[in-house]
Amino acid sequence: MKTIFSIIFYFSTFLYSQNWEWQNPLPQGKSLEDVFAVNENIVYAVGENGIVIKTLDGGNNWSILTKETTSKLNTCFFINENTGYAAGDDGVILKTINGGISFNKLNSNVSVDLHTLHFFNEQTGYAAGSNGTILFTSDGGTTWSQIQNNDTQSVSNIFFITDSKGWFAGADGIIKVTNDNGKNWIDQNSNTTNILSSIFFIDQSTGWASGLNGTLIKTTDGGTIWTSIAPNVTNWLKSICFFDENNGIAIGTPGIILTTSNGGKDWDIDRSPTSYNLNSFSLSTNQTGWVVGDNGIIIKTIDGGINWEFQSSGWQADINDIFFYNENEGIAVGNKGLFITTTDGGETWTSKNIGTVRNINAIDYYKGRPNELWIAGDHGLVFFSRDSGSTWKSISISNARFINFFGIDVGRQLVRVTGSLGAFYERSSVYGSKSSWTQIDVGALVDYNSIISTSNGKTFVVGDRSLLFLIIRLLGGDNFITLFSFPTEYDFNNIFFLYNVYGWIVGKYGIVLKSNDIGNHWEVIAQLNNNALYSVQFLDLDVGYTAGTNGSLFKSIDGGYNWQQINTGITNLFKKVFFVNKNTGWIVGTNGVILKTTGSNNLIASNEKETSSLPDNYFLSQNYPNPFNPSTTISFKIPTTGFVSLKVYDILGNEIETLVNEERNAGEYSINFNGGNLPSGVYFYRLTSGKFSDTKKLILLK
């Protein structure tokens, strides 16, 4: 079957903000590039997308501070608990004088990336970074002057042992020393061409530097001679620090921690609590220090590096799928057998060992049997639970050991799974059935990434290389398969249907397709500025979300023809976006990310102008979800202020409940209807306002 196919490229390049809060990992999951311990209690850390976090109790609790930039912050330096600076990409320098309650953006007069800061007092300090840039301020950052530096190698770290004597280290093994407070810098021979990321001195003579390919060098004469003391590692050692002339720590990527007790002559490779990149280490006392790294990792030692404890919490495994029954009860699944549940909207999550360490890629259930869960994953994984996930049973598929399943669809009679290299199986979804799995051969040896069934008996599967096919089960039990064709090949990653009529597909290169006729015809309606989209969901005919690579999240308010990008501030790959109603939604993705929003649909642009939300005409949306049990959301729009009536009726026309019966201002509204006290069946709801009246059907299925 060939589609009526057209390409309509509509998209918005404007960035919008929306309130998304971290639910995993905690306190947040953006990569942290630097940490600075003011004392044993007060510690700051900075990183990706302008993140700044702070603790007042030694790291037991962390607060996310107000930020003034979306540029990555690479370094921070605090003179005391209230006054400090942060610097990063694009020449950004921030200053706070109230302990991070607010930051002021300073004018550095440069656009290069800044990697390091050092301040002598509240007024005088240095910033340095790419292209050999060295900046100096003597008025608390109000003005910055560029210091003459004849080299263009990037400066990674700057360190002063006194007000006049200091060093910097950087690319190509460069080390320079100053004896006159930075007015002049003199070359030193590091005897390496590797990047040097960190330099540290305990007095004017004894110091160390670390860098790429396991580089570790030491001097005992102020840098006149540098000697290699490298251990037998090739890791990038990002930060080095010594408690005294003998005891020191070097940390780096991926997740390496080295300790020495004899000044660096010998190094022990400690068992690191994480495999993620470690980027910075800061001491507060002779025994206590903090390390920060990628994905929001924070670890602390109170015994000089002998033992380490996590101060960031949560799961780091990729989370691949999520759903919520309502605003409170939800389930998420992911790699390494991750299965977590929440009963408070994600404020707390509880993990359960379900008997596998294989990656779980998808979860689904039939709406009429919400306690019966099915999951599918790598190496032929298919599990079934009758008790909402408390106990599980493997529903194995013979000869599927080397197949990874990416999609699962559970209906009243059938459960279907799709996966790698054209894998497609079905069997009865009814508990106690003795049926076995049946393989469906469509003849396309590509990955089948997503599957969805509509209540009108249609099942759609999408996959790589523009795979889209429709299955209709005939009365005799055979499957009638229709393959769609497209003039251009895209990898399709996800498909979503609304009201059994309107469908959307998203995939590689930011492609968005839509059908307005129960999936009979599809057209490309947008191509977003994105490597790939992995999830799409529409809440009504207008409002929808799609998410994908590099932390990309887009919102449409016109059915998918135009999209507004939402700045999430992270670079994780988003695997699934799921909204339980128009205000409350979640995103999950790589490295354990779970984000939640409870904000309104009115996006606020980066220039802080609110977009208009007043509708042009009356509209009554189909309730969502539908069928439902026991609650559902009914949305409507009214263009003018007036009396509004919204009532629910049974199939005989008897009034069951009045949801709205009052004057309402022009706008968009969402009303929750709970049918917990009603029997299963077909009901109707009617909206009346002015001369407008519309009625729609809703199905309660317990």
Please give the pLDDT value at position 618. Answer: 84
Which residues, at least 6 apart from 565, have a Cβ–Cβ distance to it below 8 Å? 12, 13, 14, 15, 16, 528, 529, 552, 553, 554
Q: 614: pLDDT confidence band, cut at 50, 70 and 90?
A: low
Token duo for residue 182:
């930075």
Task: Give pLDDT tens digits for 461-517.
Answer: 999 999 999 999 877 677 888 999 887 788 999 999 999 999 999 999 999 999 999
Please give the pLDDT value at position 276. Answer: 87
Q: 11: pLDDT confidence band, cut at 50, 70 and 90?
A: very low
Q: Are 322 and 595 in contact (CB under 8 A)?
A: no
- CA end-to-end distance (rounded Å), the chain: 37
Task: Give pLDDT tens digits for 138-177.
Answer: 999 999 999 988 889 999 999 999 999 999 999 999 999 9
Per-residue pLDDT for 15 more than 70?
no
Q: 7: pLDDT confidence band, cut at 50, 70 and 90?
A: very low
Q: Mean pLDDT for the chain?
A: 90
Q: Are 198 and 239 in contact (CB under 8 A)?
A: yes
Token pair 């009201």 is at which residue?
499
Token pair 């799961």 is at which residue?
315
Q: Hey, is 517 helix, strand or coil?
A: coil
Give the mean model confidence (pLDDT) for residues 372-395. Answer: 96
Domains by residue range for the chain, with CATH: 619-700 (2.60.40.1930)
> Largest Cα–Cα distance of the chain, in whole Å?
95
Q: 615: pLDDT confidence band, cut at 50, 70 and 90?
A: low
Closest CA to 47 of 26, 80, 74, 25: 74
Give the mean model confidence (pLDDT) for residues 315-334. Answer: 96
Per-residue pLDDT for 373 more than 70?
yes
Task: Give pLDDT tens digits for 77-117.
Answer: 999 999 999 999 999 999 999 999 999 999 999 999 999 99
Give the mean model confidence (pLDDT) for residues 604-610. Answer: 26
Task: Give pLDDT tens digits for 268-299.
Answer: 987 777 888 999 999 987 789 999 999 999 99
**CB atoms near residue 625 (< 10 Å):** 16
Q: 20: pLDDT confidence band, cut at 50, 70 and 90?
A: confident
Closest CA to 375 of 399, 409, 351, 341: 409
Please give the pLDDT value at position 601. Answer: 41
Give the mean model confidence (pLDDT) for residues 22-28. Answer: 94
Task: Give pLDDT tens digits for 623-646.
Answer: 777 788 888 888 888 888 889 999
Per-residue pLDDT for 8 more than 80?
no
**DSSP letters of 36-50?**
EESSSS-EEEEEGGG
Better-scored residue on pLDDT, 460 or 399: 460
Give the mean model confidence (pLDDT) for residues 314-321. Answer: 95
Cα 5 to Cα 7: distance, rounded to the nearest angstrom: 7
Please give the pLDDT value at position 610. Answer: 29
**CB atoms near residue 220 (< 10 Å):** 15
Q: Which CA distances in Å does 596 have to 50, 174, 550, 551?
A: 20, 45, 18, 14
